[in-house]
Amino acid sequence: MSTVEKTYEMQWDCEFCGVKHLLGLSQRFCPTCGGPQNPAKRYFPEESAKVAVEDHPFVGADVTCPACRHAMSRNCQNCSNCGSPMGGSTQVGNLGEQKQSAGGEWQGGGGAAPAPARKSKLPLILGLIVLAIIVFLVVRVTLTKGAVLTVARQSWSREIAVERFDEVEKTAGCSEVPSGARILSRSTPTPTCTTKRVDKGDGTFKETKQCTEPKEQCSFRADQWKQVSVAKETGQLGVTPAWPKLDLRLGTCRGCEREAAKTERYTVGFDAADGKAYDCEFGDENAWKRFAKGATFAGKIRVVGGGLDCDSLKAK
Ligand SMILES: [Zn+2]
Ligand SMILES: [Zn+2]
């Protein structure tokens, strides 16, 4: 990503004599009639009419003279229009942010925003939502009722993923192509750029252009391991858990196979006195085995959202 940042003059039209496209920073008064600039009438200029500002120190948005309402730089001690001291002055409005769409049109930053915006209620609303979520989670964990649970079902499942070494066609950055791969084609995408303008409120705006660094893409064929199936073995209590039997063509030839990730799951099904059924899952066989069919356990059922807290189980 490359970024270019530059500052330009906002523009304004004289509301007294009608002269257009005056410069926001360097023309604080109309050169034709002497009328003062109205910061509420500033606008982002046309692309072809942009005037760059060199080495302009940003001291904050302009402030309004408390006596004559003329906009002045924040640096001024006294109003250059009427001479009044600038104490107690308020900040002028600004047009906010403008973004260029893919089609080249500018969006946002249109309407003149009158002086400081009211405080948004958004942070308060977000805070309340977060609070509600926390309360829900706390209640869900802490608000439980006791229940007597009888072990009614027990099952297990064991899975092995099977991978095959085969030719695959892929597209990736040319620097990431594995050695030994056969490159089919190369292409370089055109960079995409986004441009953003921000009204600084002092008669200037900052334009930021960000462009992606285009990376050459290669489409290639290479031999790789790829998952092709999952073998599964399941059973109830009484059938010793076992891994599925695989008949693989081992080796590193094209079409050869190998075992990949293994997963095992052990489930205990409980019936509560009110007829409801609950399941608990265990990752290890020994934890699962200690639940004998017909044995009773005391456990906690969540009042909000339902469900059995499997960590709460205690033998009775
Ligand atoms: Zn004028
Ligand atoms: Zn003044």
Question: Above 80 in pLDDT, residue 286?
Answer: yes
Say if residue 296 is in the same domain as residue 165: yes
CA of 24 to the centre of ligand 1 (A): 14
Output the CA 299–ligand 2 centroid distance in Å: 77
Q: Which ligand is nearest to the CA of 27?
A: 1
Q: For residues 226 and 163, is the Cβ–Cβ distance under 8 A?
A: yes
Distance from the alpha carbon of residue 15 to the mean position of ligand 2, in angstroms: 18
**Do the domain assignments include residue 137?**
no
* Same domain? 179 vs 108: no
Average pLDDT over the chain, rounded to an integer: 89
Beta-carbon neighbours within 5 Å of ion ligand 2:
65, 67-68, 70, 79, 81-82, 84
Does 305 share its domain with 209? yes
Same domain (yes/no): 178, 36: no
Q: Which two tokens stand for residue 215?
A: 């990376």
In a domain, 129, yes or no: no
- Taking the CA of 34 as reference, the closest ligand is 1
Note whether 164 and 228 are within 8 A (CB). yes
Residue 241's nearest CA partner among 151, 159, 152, 150 is: 159
**Residue the block writes with tokens 């006596």:** 67
Distance from the Cα of residue 115 to its chain's centroid? 31
Same domain, 290 and 169: yes
Q: 194 and 82 in one domain?
A: no
Q: Same domain, yes or no, for 68 and 193?
A: no
* Same domain? 64 vs 3: yes
Better pLDDT: 274 or 267: 267
Bridge-based pairing state of the strands 42-43 and 71-72: unpaired
- What average pLDDT does the segment 261-286 reach? 92
| 125-138 per-position pLDDT tens digit | 999 999 999 998 88
If one counts the domains in the chain, the total is 2
> In the prediction, which pLDDT does 81 show?
86
Examine the domain organization and report whether 107 and 16 are in the same domain: yes
Tell whether 12 and 157 lie within a shared domain. Answer: no
The yes-or-no verdict on residue 113 having pLDDT over 70 is no
Cα 86 to ligand 2 centroid, rounded to whole Å: 8
The domain boundary, picked from 70, 103, 118, lies at: 118
Residue 273 included in any domain: yes
Determine contact, residues 194/5, Cβ cutoff 8 Å: no
pLDDT at 255 over 80: yes
Whether the pLDDT of residue 111 is over 50: the answer is: no
* In a domain? residue 130: no
- Given pLDDT bands bounded at 50, 70 and 90, which one contains residue 119? low
Q: How far is the CA of 246 from the centre of ligand 1 (A)?
A: 89
**Domain span including residue 204:** 148-315
Give the Å distance between the CA of 39 and the centre of ligand 2: 14
Q: State the pLDDT at residue 115.
A: 40
Question: Mean pLDDT over residues 35-49, rounded?
Answer: 90
Q: pLDDT by residue (tens digit) across 174-210? A: 999 988 899 999 999 888 889 999 999 999 999 999 9
